[in-house]
Amino acid sequence: MHDVTSGTPTQPISKLTLYTNFCHPTEIHDVAKLFFADVVLCEEKSQGQIVVQEGCHGTTYTTIATFFAKVEVQQVDVDGVDELQAMRLRKRHAKLAIFNLLKKVTHKDIPWGSLTGIRPTKLAMQLTSEGLDWQSTFTNLLGVSERKTKLVADILATQGELRNIKSNCADLYIGVPFCVSRCSYCSFTSGEIAKLQKYVEPYVEKLCDEITQTINFAHQNNITINNVYFGGGTPTSLSAEQLAKVLSCVTIKPVEFTVEAGRPDTIDAQKLAVFAKHGVHRVSINPQTFNQSVLDEIGRKHTVQDIYDKFFMAKSFGFDVNMDLIAGLPTETYKMFCHSVDCAIALGADNITVHTLALKHGSILKGQNYSATEQDVASMVEYAHQALYNAEYVPYYMYRQKYVMENLENVGFCKKGKPCLYNIGIMEEITDILACGCGAISKKITIGQNKIERSANAKDVITYIARSQDYIDKKFALFAPKQ
């Protein structure tokens, strides 16, 4: 039963229906999901327990949200702004209507307030361009906590001039869709290399061809490639000879060249020597955890000692090293996660990114209906951030994801002067991306119009091998000078 007269549910609500006439209903739905685990959109107003309706009178838009006899009203005037900015303002206030309503009903604390987007830093810059004090807007209007607002401010301060957009420039992404095994949390388009061996050599051939054509295209069109990122999947699931073949196609000298080695069990001295020979600057060696029982639980086929061994091996070649940790992994307690953070800091990795587990469709954990109800993931993340600040690391990029635990975030920390430039470019969407390989997505960004155009390659290896030239031509058409 629910006490409707008081406007507050007296028992936990398991499943709710939401009706909205707003033109972007998923935006409203995403806010509702911050408060309730199971809420579904419905098509009829009479079916909705939560109702969010937008009306218009002249240039003034009014959104009225109702739930359990409580009402929240938001109003915005879009007179004098262009169509794009008008939609931004309508979305902002429609989301505020349902957010403020559900916060009154549930009394639930949401650290990121009404924000559901991937890039809070990008929103901060947008608010600044509107002539607003973004920090005041975050805390006083959008409901973002002071702690999260400070995190955004610290990231923007670290990025500084690295955010400056350079014309006729791009970063180059190279993707390998193979892994040695599948981790239980992973939803990326990749396959176990042992099961796909007959496709590996043909894939490498097609990938090399695409890289060569892409670099030639960039040169012919006066596009300067600043940074190169070789990711996946796990690039180091390839042999040293195959890696050498791919890297030999990168005939430019980028400002930064990163290889996402990722899995310690795929790294050896021969492969690191190949990287050094071809001008790689940094490698990612991603523990995810320093607890052996958790590594076993999530399907990683290596030991904690392997992490240490491969880290020092990479350092002996002079590489900067990136590391990833994930808060909220199965069986990992708060104390165990803190141990992982302490280990990564003690090693002295140049970059440490603290991810919050996202339960994505296609992952094994999502299929198992995994829930970390026994873990305080927010406390894990808070410990990691504070420990990294105390060790004089600085946050330099951030992104958020749907289905992430406790509506938290992923934050990259680095030693001062050691940010991964590619991470800033792609996460802040301030540079074009020329992408090569299966599942790779090229992006052309037109800042003045706030416009992002994409060209995606085939997601599966077989289609990529068969039709790679079609996808190359499509990518070049996106970046070709307009007649």
Read off the pLDDT of residues 298-357 as tens digits, 9 standing for 90 and up: 888 899 999 999 999 999 999 999 999 999 999 899 999 999 999 999 999 999 999 998
Task: Please check the confidence at residue 13 and state whether its pLDDT lies above 80.
Answer: no
- 483 occurs within a structural domain: no
pLDDT number for residue 371: 67
Per cent of the chain over pLDDT 90 is 80
> Which residue in the block uniquely carries the two structure tokens 């440490």?
352
Q: What CATH number did the domain enclosing 297 receive?
A: 3.80.30.20
Mean pLDDT to the nearest integer, 101-119: 93
> Which residue in the block uniquely carries the two structure tokens 């430039």?
421
Task: Output b/e per residue, 108-147; b: 16+ Cβ within 10 A.
Answer: eebbbbbbbebbbbbbbbebeeeeeebbebbbeebbbeee
Query: Is 145 in the same domain as 273?
Result: no
User: What's the chain's average pLDDT?
Assistant: 91
Domain that holds residue 309: 165-476
Q: Give Dmax (Cα) for the chain.
A: 73
Query: Is 311 in the same domain as 258?
Result: yes
Per the omega criterion (within 30 degrees of 0), is the bond before 299 cis?
A: no
Q: What CATH number did the domain enclosing 98 receive?
A: 3.30.160
Collapse the DSSP code of 270 into the 3-class scheme (helix H, G, I; strand E, B; otherwise coil) and give the result.
helix
Please choose, from the candidates 209, 12, 192, 246, the residue with its C-alpha nearest in 3D space to the C-alpha of residue 108: 12
Query: Is 24 in the same domain as 130?
Result: no
CA 259 distance to own-chain centroid: 18
Strand arrangement of the beta sheet that strand 60-67 belongs to: 39-41, 16-20, 50-57, 60-67, 70-77
Task: Please check the confidence at residue 78 and state whether its pLDDT lies above 70.
Answer: yes
Task: Please check the confidence at residue 417 and state whether its pLDDT lies above 80.
Answer: yes
Mean pLDDT to the nearest integer, 95-104: 97
Query: Is 233 in the same domain as 346?
Result: yes
State residue 272 phi and psi, 5-degree precision. -65, -35
pLDDT number for residue 367: 59
Task: Please check the confidence at residue 2 and state whether its pLDDT lies above 50.
Answer: no
Q: HSE on the CB side for 366, CA within 13 Å?
A: 14
Task: Please check the confidence at residue 370 and state whether its pLDDT lies above 90.
Answer: no
User: CB–CB of 51/67 below 8 Å?
Assistant: yes
Q: In whole angstroms, give the CA distance from residue 139 to residue 93.
A: 15
Query: Is 191 in the same domain as 128?
Result: no
Confidence band for 4, pLDDT divided at 50, 70 and 90: very low
More confident residue, 221 or 372: 221
Query: Is 196 in the same domain as 148?
Result: no
User: CB–CB of 320/282 below 8 Å?
Assistant: yes
- 482 occurs within a structural domain: no
- 21 occurs within a structural domain: yes
Query: Is 141 in the same domain as 261?
Result: no
Which residues, at least 6 apart from 147, have a Cβ–Cβ distance to it below 8 Å?
Answer: 111
Q: In whole angstroms, give the CA distance from residue 437 to residue 446.
A: 24
- 481 occurs within a structural domain: no
Query: Is 6 in the same domain as 118?
Result: no
Write the DSSP assignment of 393-447 as a string of letters: EEEEEEE--TTBGGG--EEEEEETT---HHHHHHHHT-SEEEEESTT-EEEEEEG
- Count: domains in the chain: 3
Query: Is 103 in the same domain as 118?
Result: no
Query: Is 287 in the same domain as 357?
Result: yes
More confident residue, 109 or 365: 109
Confidence band for 374, pLDDT divided at 50, 70 and 90: very low
Query: Is 450 in the same domain as 383?
Result: yes
Query: Is 138 in the same domain as 189?
Result: no
